[in-house]
Amino acid sequence: MTPTLQLAGPAAGHHKMVSGVSASVRRQLRWMLLFSIFLCSRSSAGAQESITPPLQVPPEPPSVASDAEAGPDVLQMPFEPRTPADVFAEPAPRQETAVSPADMPRGYTGATGIRPSEQQQTLDFVPVEDRWRIGFPERDRYPDGNPPVDDRFGELGHWWDPYNQNVLKGDYPIIGQHTFLNVSATNFMLHEFRKTPTGTSPFESTAGAGHEEFFGDPDQYFFINNLKLQLSLFHGDAGFRPFDWQLRVAPVFNLNYLDVEELAVVTPNVRSGTTRARGYAAMEEWFVEARLADLSPSYDFLSVRAGSQPFVSDFRGFVFADTNRAVRLFGTRLSNRDQFNLIWFDQTEKDTNSTLNTFDDRHQNTLIANYFRQDFIFPGYTAMISLHHNNDQPSVEYDRNNVLVRPDPAGVYRPHEVDAWYLGFAGDGHIGRFNVSHAYYHVTGTDSFNPIQGERSQISADMAALELSIDRDWVRFRTSGFWASGDDDPNDGQAEGFDSVLDNPNFAGGQFSFWQRQQIRLFGVNLKQRESLVPNLRSSKFQGQSNFVNPGLRLLNGGMDFEITPRVRAVTNINFLWFDQTAILERFAYQSGISRSIGTDLSVGLEYRPLLSDNILIAGGVSALLPGRGFDDLYGVTDPLSAAAGAAGRAENLYGMFMDLVLTW
C-alpha cells in the first residue's frame, strides 16, 4: 500500500493535486515543507529579539564585612540606575565592570569623607579616590602553624586603640584627603612625701607645744592629679610637609591636696588648719596656626601661631619653659637644617595651687628669638643662639591663698619694674662618642627698685652649664657642672645674681634631684623654687618677679643611667652644692659668717614603661639632702648648750619620695 500525506483544512485540496505523483517526489516536497516551516520560525524569533532586547543587570558587588566585624565600609564602584529610555535604546557594546578590592584598611579608619567623582571607563582602570583607606589582604608572615596573632601583617583597629592606625589619632583624614583630627587624653597623678624646712608661728599658734624655733615639723604630703584633653584639627600631613593650618584646644582639670604639720602654711590664717584641698579647671592650650609661605622645594616653611601655646626656649629649659598666650613666628631653612623662632608672650596670671593659667593679665611681656643650626662643625651636634627680653611691670598681687607675691615680701615692699635682656649660646648633641650639652647666658638690664637693696639696680649676671656623657653598652656615665653668678655686695646698686624668667631645667638629675625638685622656704620668700636650680630669694616662681640680688649657685654632678631592660630605666645622681656668694644671705637673714656649703644631694629614680611606649609611664624616686655648713647656718636648730658655746646648730637631713603615673591615649 502506497503511503500518503494526510493534511487537514486547506491542504486537503493540495493532496488531491499530488496524489498521482511518484513517491520520490512526495518525499522531496515533504522535506521542503518542513524546511520552510523551520525558516519561518527562526525569522519570527529574530524579529522579536530586535524589538525587545533583554535587560542587562550588572553583577552584584561582593559583600563587605560589617563595621562591627572589620571596620568601615570600603569604597565600591557605583552603578547608575537604568531608565526606560535606556531599556529600549540600541544596545551598547558589551563592557565589563569591576569593584575595588574588598580587603579592609588597617587600623580604625572611620567613615570616608570623599564622594566619588568619576566612574570606571575601561577594564584596566578602577577609580578609588580615597587613597588613605585602600585595603590590604590578610597575610601570615610565618605560615608554619604559628597563630596569626604572633606576627600579623597589620591590625584591624578599634576606636580605643591608640597604638595602631586610628582616625582619631590623625592617621586617616576625617574631611577630604588632607584634613585630620588628633584627639589625646593624658592623666597625670603624683603622690609625694617630703621633709622640707617649714616655718612656724611661734608660741601662740603653733601646731605643737613648746615650739620656739623658726622652723618646725618638716613633714609634708602632696597630691596632684591633672586630666588633660587635647583636640587638634589640622590640614596637611605633617609627616611629609608642614601643616597648612591647625586649630588646637586643650582643657585641663586639676585636683590638688596638701597636708603639713604646721599652722599658717596652707594659708596665712592659722584657723585654716594644716590641710588644703583645691580643684581648678583651665583652658591651658588654645591656638590657631597657619603656614605663611614655602621657602624652598625641600618643604622649608614660614608659619605663624597665635594663642596659648607651650614653648621651651633652649635644649634644657634654663631660662624659659611655659605654656601661655603668645604670637609665634617660626620655620626652617636649608632643607630643615636650620630652625628659627620669634615669639612674643603676653603672660597671664597662674592659679597658685595648680599652676595652671587663668585669664587675668599678668602685666608681663616676654620676647624670645632663637636660631638653631644642626650639624654645626660636628655631625650630630646642634648649636643655638638666643635673645630673651623680659619686661615685668609694677603690680601688686596676692595669690589664691592670700599670700603677697608681688612685690616680693623681702626688704622694702614697693612695686617695681624688672627689665632684663638675656643673650645666650647653647648646644646639644654628640661629638664622636661623647654626648655634649652646654649653655651660657649673660643677662643685663635694670630693676627699678630691688626690694633687698632698697634702690634702683643695674643687672649684670651670668650662668653656665656643661654636661658630658658617654655610653657603654646599657650604661651612660655622666658628669656635669652648673654655675649661676651671685651678688657679692648688697649695697653697690649692682644686681649680679643670675635669675631666670620661668625655668624648668632637665639637668643634674632633673625631677629626681631633691635640690631641684623641692621648694625651700626662707622668711617669706623661697630660697629656691620648685623645679628650679637657682637660689633666687623670690616669692614665687610662677607669680613673683625675677630677683637678681641673690647668692647664686655652684653645682658639681656625677651620675649613671642604666637601661636595665627596654621597659625599665634607672637614674642615679650625686650633686655637691655651694652658694656662689653669701653676702646677700647674711644681709637678708641678719646673720654673719654664713658658709658657702649647701650640702650633698643624693637621688635614685626608676622609670617603667610596661607597653614599651609612653602610653603608660610609671616613675618614682627617692632623694636626700645632707646639709652642709651653710645650710646649717640658715636652718639649723640651736640647742641651749650650743648657743652658749657660740656654735650653730645642725639642720635636719631632708628627704623626698615620689611616685607618678602618666596614662596617655
Domain residue extents for the chain: 78-162, 179-664
pLDDT per residue over 448-495, tens digit each? 999 999 999 999 999 999 999 999 999 999 999 999 999 999 999 999
pLDDT value at residue 407: 93
Candidate from 76-90, 368-382, 608-622 with smallest mean pLDDT: 76-90
Stretch 37-47: mean pLDDT, rounded?
47
> What's the mean pLDDT in 327-353?
96
Of the CATH numbers 2.40.160.100, 3.40.50.10490, 2.60.120.10, 2.60.120.920, which one belongs to the domain with range 179-664?
A: 2.40.160.100
Residue carrying C-alpha cell 580643684: 279
> 185 pairs with which residues across the strands?
229
Residue with more model confidence, 139 or 514 = 514
Reported as a pLDDT band with limits 50, 70 and 90, residue 149 is low
Q: What sign has the CA pseudo-torsion 363, 397, 519, 660?
A: negative
Q: Does residue 605 surpass a pLDDT of 80?
A: yes
SS3 readout for 475-520 = EEEEEEEEEECCCCCCCCCEECCCCCCECCCCCCCHHHCHHHHCCE
Q: With 60 as the cut, is the pLDDT of residue 338 above it?
A: yes
pLDDT band of residue 257 (cuts 50, 70, 90) is very high
Per-residue pLDDT band at 162 (split at 50, 70, 90): confident
What does DSSP say about strands 338-350 and 397-398: parallel, antiparallel, or unpaired? unpaired
User: Predicted confidence band at 47 (pLDDT cuts at 50, 70, 90)?
Assistant: very low
* Mean pLDDT of the chain, nearest integer: 84
pLDDT in tens, 569-581: 999 999 999 999 9
Q: Is the pLDDT of residue 281 over 70?
A: yes
Q: What are phi and psi of 100, to 5 degrees?
A: -70, 160
Give 322's pLDDT tier (boundaries 50, 70, 90). very high
**Are the CB atoms for 465 and 428 separated by under 8 Å?**
no
| 419 against 68, higher pLDDT | 419
Nearest-angstrom CA–CA distance, 248 and 251: 10
HSE of 132 in the Cβ direction (CA atoms, 13 Å)? 24
- In tens, the pLDDT along 299-309 reads 899 999 999 99
Give me the mean pLDDT over the 327-355 stretch.
96
Alpha-carbon gap, residue 392 to 417, rounded angstroms: 6
Q: Does pLDDT of 116 surpass 90? A: no
Among 153-157, 392-396, 433-437, 454-458, name the one with the lowest average pLDDT: 153-157
Amino acid at 612: L
Condensed to tens digits (0 to 9), the pLDDT of residues 429-451 reads: 999 999 999 999 999 999 999 99
467 and 430 in contact (C-beta within 8 Å)? no
SS3 245: strand
Stretch 324-343: mean pLDDT: 97
pLDDT of residue 143: 62
Q: What pLDDT does 163 receive?
A: 83
Query: What number is the average pLDDT over the span 68-89?
Result: 45
- Mean per-residue pLDDT for 352-379? 96
CB 276 within 8 A of CB 313: no
